[in-house]
Amino acid sequence: MRLEMFVACLFLLPGIAKSWYNAVLDFPSEPSVDNFVMWTPIETIDMQEALSVCSWVKPTKSDTRNRFWLSYQPIGSSNDLQEINMCDNLGATALFSTSTGTPAQHLESNKWHHVCMTWSLSDQTVRVYLAGKEVSSKTTAANRKFGKRGVFVLGQEQDRVGGSFDVNQAFIGELYQLNMYSRALSGEEVERAFNRGLCASSDPSIARDITIAWQDVLAAPRNGEVRIKRGTCSHWNLVSDYIDRDLLQHLIKYHDH
């Protein structure tokens, strides 16, 4: 009975019982301009001078098209004033309507990838990371701030604010643990987030800087056939943050029997 109570208490630890854990956004295999997640208007005042976007991304279609999993445009802007474009081809990733200088590389299909983009006004630099490693950095314009009120779209690239989608750019795949931060994460922090793995909880040392969290993304209106599904993570992955490996294996064995 004591062991049963101990296991029950473990699953009440912060983050472990949350409904957003292991909740994956799935964009269907048949591309459509109707499949997207959008929330608007949204205030991004905390990210005007620095930001980071990090997510686990799994494309499920292998082709040569540029399929965008995130775009952001400020209210009142046109297609040539997009603030952020994140794509399954890293070469099409852009900030302030300008390429980040990342070499063209389509993410391998049916595999999870950890992708981050960071930027700060103070050093005027945008950086892109894949699997915890920096793959590009580029200088941005002096005094250029991030648009503070706009529209976020997942699964499509905006040719006008909130619309004019192109079916050939529709994302096909899955997203998990997409978070946006109010500062530029360091290379060490990005690498640590990747090393924690797909199924880990958010790194407590950077979680306090999240300004748009995964649970906010999941609560945003979904359109078309976009759905939330259960992933392959186990709550035991979260418990491992709190107890040692030997005890964890004992608990799993006890729980399964």
Res. 6: pLDDT tops 70? no
Q: How confident is the model at residue 1, as a pLDDT?
A: 42
Confidence of residue 75 (pLDDT cuts 50, 70, 90): confident
- How many Å apart are CA 155 and CA 133, to the nearest integer? 25
% of the chain residues with pLDDT over 90 = 51
Task: Decide which of 17 and 233 is more confident.
Answer: 233
User: What is the arithmetic mean of pLDDT over 51-78?
Assistant: 88
Token digits of residue 76: 């009142």
Average pLDDT, the chain: 83
User: What is the arithmetic mean of pLDDT over 146-159?
Assistant: 87
User: What is the arithmetic mean of pLDDT over 208-228?
Assistant: 93
- Rounded to two decimals, the pTM is 0.85
Q: How far out from the chain centre does Cα 58 lie?
A: 11
- What does the pLDDT look like over 220-239, one tens digit per residue? 999 999 999 998 887 655 55
- Specify the residue for token string 């029997």: 257
Question: Of 61, 153, 156, 63, which is closest to residue 111 (Cα–Cα)?
Answer: 61
Confidence of residue 255 (pLDDT cuts 50, 70, 90): very low
User: What is the arithmetic mean of pLDDT over 128-147?
Assistant: 90
Res. 204: pLDDT tops 50? yes
DSSP 80: G
Of 68-72, 84-88, 201-205, 216-220, least confident by mean pLDDT is: 201-205
Question: Of 149, 146, 36, 138, which is closest to residue 83 (Cα–Cα)?
Answer: 146
Q: How confident is the model at residue 235, as a pLDDT?
A: 64
Confidence of residue 78 (pLDDT cuts 50, 70, 90): low
2-10 and 245-256 helices, crossing angle to 10°: 110
User: What is the arithmetic mean of pLDDT over 41-61?
Assistant: 84
The most confident of 7-16, 34-43, 243-252, by mean pLDDT:
34-43
